[in-house]
Structure 1
């Protein structure tokens, strides 16, 4: 069964810098994604990983300099299709790449990717997906090995395949996402993508030229040592799913794992970063 999510809606006064402070605090909780609104933001968290007492750990709620109102509602899985169809707009990167749903009209681009998210729901990651796609578009993937962690709809794995990657593995913790990723891979002529269900423990015993991980900050910090063990010397780690405020923390942890910072992108406070693995003694 797919996960049930809770949608928390926050109104913050004053919005800035209140929203930025709130984002930083909520990022330490199990929230998976966020969507900025005119009044504040919305956060999405799996019901199975949430307890109402956790919200009381947010210090901004008790800060006399800000007024914060919030409420939450449960998002049943059967409502997710309606939500993504309402909010999902094509991702377009110049005239080179376009990610669209089946009901969007086709445009002439080099890489036309058709995605039907179904229940692979994740509001707030449009910016991160865009930046990860930009990274892939500017790099040579011909005859490389690629791992897409937290693959969701498998859009990154699909582009890697279209760009000539020789061997592609994709992993997502949600069984519904695993099925959806396989469907999307086949829809785009990338049946060779192998999709696994699980977390970092499900990574096959091999090394990769590229590891892609568009996940939330806490998962990235926990799994970085695993990613480095599965990278070839000289391989690349592309990360997103976190905010600019977390960039230094992510980079410090990467450096501890032998990963050198190369470049970064930023869109609406979301960040994507590319690192190169310098190598280490591996058994």
Structure 2
């Protein structure tokens, strides 16, 4: 069995990369690796789509995105080497390390093993990395946590490792839902419930901390729901948008008495903490 590696150059990276991976998954692509300038996507040679199928994708035709691509054949004996070459462990400070199953264990406080498949959230993207930084600065002991748009489940997994007692991880995409469940089990987490859906599945539950690393438009739509689900002294961590969008996000949060307390910026992406 052999694979084809498709190399996609994507501008801007987000949300175009997420949309691209979602659509490619529907075309039979099995695995993805986020890169500094796009996405590597892998599909079995006998399952490869026609080039017109790729060019006709919604994200490829969208006027706000610029996407180009090429492909090469990856022989079966080189498959693992290719995957390993493009998926490097990520360290967040000196306390947290995110690695794939084939990477060796290192002696860090939080060693997280993630196999992303078709899900977002390996720590390679600025938004995930900054959200991890925000979490590492918090005391999670006994907290009830909601992770919206959980992707691989990496943020939810870290909160359990840090002492959170009750965690719900929610993602609308079925492949993210399934992948998060696998990663929760892979990291031997016992306090995370993984749910497929959007903000409407939350009901009347109240949380000490809500995490949402999604895109700007979804955040603006769902901030009222997040606010209603926060306990009185709860915190809201948001990312997935650019620094230029921060005033808009803060204005919406302000409508619900949520005040900006902290922000991290990396390559024009921002992650923020709001408090009641």
- Please give the alpha-carbon distance, in whole angstroms, between the structure 2 residues aligned to 1:249 and 1:177: 28
> Is residue 162 of structure 2 the alignment partner of residue 198 of structure 1?
no
- Please give the alpha-carbon distance, in whole angstroms, between the structure 1 residues aligned to 2:57 and 2:167: 30
Gapped runs of 5+ residues in structure 2? 1-5, 22-33, 42-53, 72-78
Question: Does the CA contact (< 8 Å) of 1:118 and 1:180 recur in 2?
Answer: yes
Distance apart, 1:54 and its partner CA: 3.6
Change (3 A) 1:175 1:84: farther
Distance apart, 1:193 and its partner CA: 0.6
The equivalent of 1:217 in structure 2 is 216
Q: Give the 3-state SS of the residue equivalent to 2:116 in structure 1.
A: coil
Question: Does the CA contact (< 8 Å) of 2:118 and 2:176 recur in 1?
Answer: yes
Q: Give the 3-state SS of the residue equivalent to 1:113 in structure 2.
A: strand
The equivalent of 2:182 in structure 1 is 183
> Is residue 95 of structure 2 the alignment partner of residue 92 of structure 1?
no
Q: Give the 3-state SS of the residue equivalent to 1:247 in structure 2.
A: helix
Higher mean displacement: 113-122 or 207-216 = 113-122
Which structure 2 residues correspond to residues 115-134 of structure 1 after superposition, within 5 A? 115-121=114-120, 126-134=125-133
Distance apart, 1:249 and its partner CA: 1.2
Which structure 2 residues correspond to residues 212-251 of structure 1 after superposition, within 5 A? 212-251=211-250
Question: Does the CA contact (< 8 Å) of 1:35 and 1:123 recur in 2?
Answer: no
- Please give the alpha-carbon distance, in whole angstroms, between the structure 1 residues aligned to 2:198 and 2:239: 17
The equivalent of 2:75 in structure 1 is none
Change (3 A) 1:145 1:195: same
The equivalent of 1:169 in structure 2 is 168
The equivalent of 2:141 in structure 1 is 142
Q: 1:51-73: per-residue Cα shift (whole Å, max 9, x none)?
A: 76641xx4xx9xxxxxxx75368
Distance apart, 1:47 and its partner CA: 10
Which 4+ residue blocks in structure 1 deviate beyond 4 angstroms? 30-36, 46-49, 81-86, 121-125
Q: 1:78-115: per-residue Cα shift (whole Å, max 9, x none)?
A: xxx98865533222023211111111111110111111
- Please give the alpha-carbon distance, in whole angstroms, between the structure 1 residues aligned to 2:199 and 2:83: 27
Question: Does the CA contact (< 8 Å) of 1:84 and 1:121 recur in 2?
Answer: no
Gapped runs of 5+ residues in structure 1? 1-5, 11-21, 62-68, 75-80, 279-283
Match of 1:50 among 50, 53, 58: 58
Change (3 A) 1:84 1:245: farther
